[in-house]
Amino acid sequence: MLDEQAKKTMLRKIPHGLFICGVKDGDDVNGFTASWLMQASFKPPLIVNCVKKDSRYNEMIKNSGVFAISFLEADQKNMAQKFFQPQRRIGNKFEDVEFYLGETGCPIISDSLGYIECQVVGAVEKGDHTVYVGEVIASGVHRSGEPLLLESTGWQYGG
């Protein structure tokens, strides 16, 4: 029998970083805070990025087949919080955030540790998220620093 509280407690112990996932659909660019992300292969370099199925971002990735991941620094909790908010409540998330478009055309946060850009090579729709497999096709380092971790924010996403 599944103990719901035990399940929630244990799943929240899975460590997660916090990232900004930049997406595009035509000329429209957007971004969201991602935490369900991991490396999945060395050759070719693959990552797994899980995106809520009912989100606009999921549709944008489906339509474009690309996404970019900006790696946040440990003191960038406010940036992560800004991109957690639904776009309809705060308007253009990039309005006061310096960014540039990468090789994929997806937005990359200028004030981040660095980035990777991915071409979608697979997707699985199960549960309430789409699991995207992205091949890393471009990357760059902006500066050194410690990454922002979900557990350091006091927030919980999972369980």
CATH number of the domain enclosing 149: 2.30.110.10
Q: How many domains does the chain have?
A: 1
Q: Does 62 map to a domain?
A: yes
Which pTM value belongs to this model? 0.92
Residues 6+ apart with CB under 8 A from 34: 18, 19, 20, 21, 49, 50, 51, 69
Q: Does 43 map to a domain?
A: yes
Determine the pLDDT at residue 92: 65
Secondary structure (DSSP) of 81-119: HHHHS-HHHHS-TTTTS-EEE-TTS-EEESSSSEEEEEE
Lookup: tokens for 144: 């050194």
Q: Does 4 map to a domain?
A: no
Determine the pLDDT at residue 90: 46
For residue 52, which of 127, 121, 142, 2 has the smallest C-alpha distance? 127
**Domain span holding position 78:** 13-153
Q: Does 63 map to a domain?
A: yes
Determine the pLDDT at residue 50: 96
Determine the pLDDT at residue 89: 47
Determine the pLDDT at residue 145: 97
Q: Does 140 map to a domain?
A: yes
Q: Does 46 map to a domain?
A: yes
Q: Does 81 map to a domain?
A: yes
Determine the pLDDT at residue 158: 66
Q: Does 66 map to a domain?
A: yes
List the chain pLDDT tens, one digit each, 159 residues.
Answer: 888 999 888 888 888 899 999 999 999 999 999 999 999 999 999 999 999 999 999 999 999 999 999 999 999 999 999 998 765 544 567 778 999 999 999 999 999 999 999 999 999 999 999 999 999 999 999 999 999 998 888 777 766
